[in-house]
Amino acid sequence: MLAFPAVCASWPAPTAPRVRVAGAGLPPTLMLNSVHDPATPIEAARSAHRALRGSRLVRATGNGDHGQYPGPDPCVRSTVESCLLAGAVPTGDLTCPSPEAG
């Protein structure tokens, strides 16, 4: 997996302008990340969450790594579907424990 980005590192292209993401003017944004995701480590999700004012971070602690929705975790499923179907986001950040732990 690490070999693919290495190809782009030497690609002859101009440097892209740096974009500052702040989330100003966005409606509440739901962010979902597994604490075990190798593609987007939880530290990167927390960084993006801090950059997007008004976002809510849902941390999935069980049920594998990448691709939490749709999946068997009722906490993740109900939170995401409430957002998608009714525009409802949690009032704060949320941790969805492993379904086996409950």
pLDDT in tens, 22-35: 777 888 899 999 99
Tokens representing residue 9 in the block: 């590192």
Q: Residue 56 and residue 15: Cα distance in Å, rounded?
A: 31
pTM value surpassing 0.75: no
Q: What is the dihedral of CA 48, 96, 2, 23, to 10 degrees?
A: -10
Listing DSSP states for 49-72 in one string gives HHHSTT-EEEEE-SS-SS--SSSS
61-90 pLDDT tens trace: 976 777 888 888 899 999 999 999 999 999
Which whole number is the average pLDDT over 11-38? 83
